[in-house]
């Protein structure tokens, strides 16, 4: 597995982190589906797992926002030909808002459905867009260095 050196530039470290995040997205998708199963079979254990999953989702969301902010990226121009980074962010935001609604309405079946289907689908968009984001950072900031 490639690692970064302390002498690597911020840009190189960011590209490396995006690659790790792409792997982490797959783990988040699996965790989300497992959490949905747990909520249905062991509500207390499932809600504890949901609390942890929520922290990871928030951390991912903040990281992604930070990267695009630091590099001043145009989220409408970064995409995979079908979706842009902006549409991926908006989709994830909508799903997270629906999760809040399900929690507030004590809709456990709805929350489980969001975790099983909608969260993994929303995260999948980032998996295909992060390589494009990495390439853009590389071309804009490393090719000119």
CA 125, CA 47: separation in Å to the nearest integer?
26
Q: Is the pLDDT of residue 110 over 50?
A: yes
Q: Which residue has 């207390």 as its token pair?
A: 44
Q: Decide: 33 and 47 in contact? Cβ < 8 Å.
A: no
Model pTM score: 0.86
Q: How confident is the model at residue 5 (pLDDT cuts 50, 70, 90)?
A: low
Q: Tell me how far the alpha carbon of residue 83 is from its chain's centroid.
A: 15
Convert the pLDDT of each residue in 132-143 to its tens digit.
999 988 888 887
User: Could you state, in order of their start, the residue ranges of all structural domains in the chain?
Assistant: 10-142
The two three-digit tokens of residue 83, written as one number = 């979706």
């Amino acid at each position: 597995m490639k690692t970064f050196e302390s002498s690597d530039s911020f840009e190189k470290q960011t590209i490396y982190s995006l690659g790790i995040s792409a792997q982490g997205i797959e783990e988040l998708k699996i965790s989300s589906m497992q959490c949905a199963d747990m909520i249905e079979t062991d509500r207390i254990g499932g809600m504890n797992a949901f609390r942890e999953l929520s922290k990871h989702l928030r951390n991912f969301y903040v990281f992604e926002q930070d990267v695009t902010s630091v590099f001043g990226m145009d989220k409408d121009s970064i995409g995979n030909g079908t979706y842009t980074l902006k549409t991926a962010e908006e989709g994830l935001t909508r799903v997270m808002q629906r999760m809040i609604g399900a929690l507030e309405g004590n809709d456990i079946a709805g929350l489980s459905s969001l975790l099983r289907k909608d969260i993994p689908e929303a995260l999948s968009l980032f998996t295909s867009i992060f390589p494009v984001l990495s390439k853009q950072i590389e071309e804009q900031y490393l090719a000119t260095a």
